[in-house]
Amino acid sequence: MVRLKCIINYDGSQFSGFQIQPKKRTVQGALETALTKMHKGEYIRIQASGRTDTGVHAKGQTIHFDSAYDIPLYNWKQALNTLLPNDLYVKEVEYADDSFHARYDVIEKEYRYYVWHESEPDVFKRNYAYYFPYELDIRSIQAACDYLEGTHDFTTFSSAKATTKGTKERTLYQVSCEKKGSEIEFIFRGSGFLYNMVRIIVGVLLDIGQGRRQPADIMDLLAKRDRRLVGETVPSEGLYLWNVRYDEKR
Amino acid sequence: MVRLKCIINYDGSQFSGFQIQPKKRTVQGALETALTKMHKGEYIRIQASGRTDTGVHAKGQTIHFDSAYDIPLYNWKQALNTLLPNDLYVKEVEYADDSFHARYDVIEKEYRYYVWHESEPDVFKRNYAYYFPYELDIRSIQAACDYLEGTHDFTTFSSAKATTKGTKERTLYQVSCEKKGSEIEFIFRGSGFLYNMVRIIVGVLLDIGQGRRQPADIMDLLAKRDRRLVGETVPSEGLYLWNVRYDEKR
């Protein structure tokens, strides 16, 4: 038995999210169908670094699974990509330690969020960035990003529906915002993220960019730990699970 | 009665081409449905600069139609975009002369073709560029492009299924190829294009880039006027109707 770790990409626009659901097209469903076919009907269960919602994309989602097959890594990659639909791609396959776990061993995740910041929408961007035509003060947003970095209780910035037990304290190593041509790129690197956390934070950052709040309000919002104080979750099409890091020593 | 001219964009990946067909999702169908709804059920017929096949995109498709409505141009644009699906967008609406015709009055069309030139596919490019992982000599392709410019009989480079009557002579004002990061951009500007002409030419140019033909072979291929001499039509996902020009004096 070997444990395999894979880095996968997917265009989330045609998937009903990551997690398997009856009669829905999901990333987990597509991966397990391909693996089960490769294993002649034996059900192969995968574990991912975490779920992603409907419409959310991934550049560096990471999964693991166990197999009795002893085949070269390159052939694993080839075989899987041949069986997968073309909006899901296995970028890397490697052997992992038997104790490796794609979810429990995460030490850092990076998410990015893209905003299409033009006066008119672009049909080619509709599934890949959030169309936001209003004026924004990027410097204010950047100032607010600085307040978000560090270790905080992010209750205010997580879905009220969240089922997470235990602490809502997380550490953000990087929160940044940059205008790149017609797009605005937000980068979030952190120890972990609560449900909807990136999309709720981006909503608040866009409020700040419009002058509806001040950058320093972030401190107050964090301290109050109340989801009702902030606005709507921005749409899923702008969100990308960009990278997942594990302890290299393992 | 006014005649309106519109410039429209569409992501062709979810359309069964431009031309209306029963039970299929087409660009013409979506536009006529929106216009007919605006006109309280009165059927409004549109005319386009030409058709595009399934999967082909447009940045500057041009259409015209007649309406008894007298409403400001900005409201036309707003109303149409509100009624259209989000993979189809009206970029400009203007008044046209009663004698203007979106197909008959074309003086120049520009098509572009994009190749995703990397060793691995990109899930986010799958519908928007042709994945071609093989080595290419761009300079050879550019030399071949020069042979294509000018006035020629393009029988060799048009679909054998073409129903075009009359001459297969067309004038290409620009044929160019440039490597831009991970993509190769082909630009074709001409007086008109035969059915599948751009996609057949790109196939031959990729053969030349791989050294399977020489740039000067283009002259011989043009002279022989035989579709069977050249290879397969490249896929539709890389093709964009980029711009349509009309006589400005009209």
Q: For A57, which residue in chain B has the nearest alpha carbon?
A: B124
pLDDT bracket for residue A163 (50, 70, 90) = low
CA distance B58 to chain A (A): 10
**Three-state DSSP state, B95:** strand
Contact A89 B120 (CB under 8 A): yes
Say what percent of chain A tops pLDDT 70: 98
**Three-state DSSP state, A222:** helix
Q: Is B217 a catalytic residue?
A: no
pLDDT of residue B162: 67
CA distance A140 to chain B (A): 31
Residues of chain A in contact with residue B88, where contact means CB-CB under 8 angstroms, are 123
Name the segment(s) of chain B with CATH classification 3.30.70.660: 107-246
Write the pLDDT tens digit of every residue in B122-154.
999 999 999 999 999 999 999 999 999 999 999
Q: Which of A84, A88, A123, A131 to mutate to test the interface with B (most CBs of B within 10 A)?
A: A123
**Three-state DSSP state, B6:** strand
Contact B11 A88 (CB under 8 A): no
**CB under 8 Å to A60, separation ≥6 — which residues?**
A7, A9, A91, A110, A241, A242, A243, A244
In the predicted structure, residue A121 carries a pLDDT above the cut 70: yes
Distance of CA B39 to the CA centre of its chain: 29
CA atoms of B205 and A61, how far apart (whole Å): 37
CATH number of A2-96: 3.30.70.580
Q: Which of B91, B120, B128 sits opposite A124 (nearest CB)?
A: B128
Write the pLDDT tens digit of every residue in A209-240.
999 999 999 999 999 999 999 989 999 999 99
A74 in a known ligand binding site: no
Instruction: Report ipTM for this prediction.
Output: 0.94
Q: Which of A88, A120, A124 sits opposite B123 (nearest CB)?
A: A88
Q: Which of B11, B120, B126 sits opposite A124 (nearest CB)?
A: B11
In single-letter form, the type of residue at position A143 comes to A
* CA distances from residue A55 to A52, A164, B114, B122, B236 in whole angstroms, order as listed: 8, 22, 25, 17, 25
Q: Does residue A187 contact residue A112 with C-beta atoms inside 8 Å?
A: yes
pLDDT of residue A226: 93
**Three-state DSSP state, A53:** coil
Q: For B92, which residue in chain A has the nearest alpha carbon?
A: A120
Write the pLDDT tens digit of every residue in A65-110.
999 998 999 999 999 999 999 999 999 999 999 999 999 999 999 9
pLDDT of residue A159: 87
Fold of A107-246: Alpha-Beta Plaits (3.30.70)
